[in-house]
Amino acid sequence: MTSHQDDPKAAAASVRSRVLIIGGIVPIAITIVATALMISWLPELPEPIAVHWNVSGANGFGPVLPFVIVPPVATALFSFFAVAWSRRSIVSGVMAWNQKVIVVASVWFAVLMNVAFAGSLWVQRGIADAHDAPDVGPTLLIGFTAAVVLGALAWFLLPPGRAVDAPGVAASPVSVAGGERVSWSHSTQLATTPLILISVVIGVAFATVIASVAVTPRWVLQGTITILVVSALAATNFWWRVSADTRGFIVKGFFGWPRKRIPLERITSVSVVDVNPSGDFGGWGWRWTADGRTGVILFTGPGIEVTQSNGKRFVVTVPDASTGAGVLAALVAKRSRS
Amino acid sequence: MLIRIDPASDVALFEQIAGSIRASTITGTLAIGERLPSARDLAEALDINVHTVLRAYQVLRDEGLVDLRPGRGAIVTARASGDYDALNAAVSTVIAEARKLEIAPSALAALIRETYQ
Same domain, residue pair A147 and A242: no
Same domain, residue pair A151 and A10: yes
CATH number, domain containing residue A269: 2.30.29.30
- On whether residue A94 sits in a domain, the answer given is yes
**Distance from C-alpha of A128 to C-alpha of A213, rounded to nearest angstrom:** 37
pLDDT of residue A91: 65
Q: What are phi and psi of A195, to 5 degrees?
A: -60, -45
**Coil, strand or helix at A58:** strand
Q: Do A185 and B45 touch (CB under 8 A)?
A: yes
Question: Residues of CATH 1.10.10.10 domain(s) within chain B?
Answer: 9-81
Question: Best residue in A175, A176, A182, A183 to probe B by mutation, most B CBs within 10 Å?
Answer: A183
pLDDT of residue A258: 86
* A230 residue type, one letter: V
Q: Give the domain range for residue A311.
A: 169-190+237-337
Same domain, residue pair A72 and A180: no
- Residue A2 binned pLDDT confidence (cut-offs 50, 70, 90): very low
What per-residue string of b and e applies to A64-95 under the rule 16 or more CB within 10 Å gives b? beebbeebbebbbebbeebbebbbebbbebbb
CB-CB contact of B5 with B16 (8 Å): yes
Please state, rounded to an integer, the average pLDDT across all residues of chain A: 84
CB-CB contact of A285 with A297 (8 Å): yes
Same domain, residue pair A105 and A242: no
pLDDT higher than 60, residue A15: yes
- On whether residue A199 sits in a domain, the answer given is no
Q: Which residue numbers of B have CB closer than 8 Å to A's CBs?
A: 1-8, 29, 34-37, 41-42, 44-47, 105-106
Number of domains in chain A: 2
Mean pLDDT of A279-292: 75
**Distance from C-alpha of A150 to C-alpha of A233, rounded to nearest angstrom:** 38
pLDDT of residue A4: 44
Mean pLDDT of A262-268: 95
- On whether residue A96 sits in a domain, the answer given is yes
Same domain, residue pair A70 and A173: no
**Distance from C-alpha of A280 to C-alpha of A240, rounded to nearest angstrom:** 20
Q: Do A181 and B6 touch (CB under 8 A)?
A: yes
Q: Distance, in angstroms, between A332 CA and closest chain B CA? A: 14
> Whole-model pTM?
0.65
Determine what percent of chain B falls in helix, strand and coil, rounding each to the nearest 5.
Answer: 55, 10, 30
Spans of chain B, pLDDT less than 50? none
Q: Name residues whose C-beta falls within 8 Å of residue B81's C-beta, 6 or more positions apart in sequence.
A: B25, B28, B31, B32
Same domain, residue pair A56 and A183: no
- Identify all chain A residues contacting B8, using CB atoms and an 8 Å cutoff: 179
Mean pLDDT of A10-31: 89
Q: Report pLDDT digits (tens) over A137-186.
A: 888 899 899 999 999 999 888 877 665 566 788 888 998 888 899 999 99
- Residue A215 binned pLDDT confidence (cut-offs 50, 70, 90): low
- Identify all chain A residues contacting B16, using CB atoms and an 8 Å cutoff: none
Q: Is the ipTM of this complex over 0.85?
A: no
Same domain, residue pair A125 and A249: no
CB pairs under 8 A between A and B: 60
Same domain, residue pair A32 and A70: yes
pLDDT of residue A320: 92
Same domain, residue pair A114 and A180: no
CB-CB contact of A28 with A112 (8 Å): no
Query: What is the helix (H) or strand (E) element at residue A214, kind and residue range?
Result: helix A192-215
Q: Report pLDDT digits (tens) over A288-335.
A: 776 678 899 999 899 999 999 998 999 999 999 999 999 999 999 998
Among candidate residues A133, A157, A181, the one where a domain is terminated: A157
pLDDT of residue B94: 92
CB-CB contact of B1 with A184 (8 Å): yes
User: What CATH fold (topology level) applies to the domain B9-81?
Assistant: Arc Repressor Mutant, subunit A (1.10.10)
Q: What are phi and psi of A21, to 5 degrees?
A: -70, -50
Same domain, residue pair A178 and A279: yes
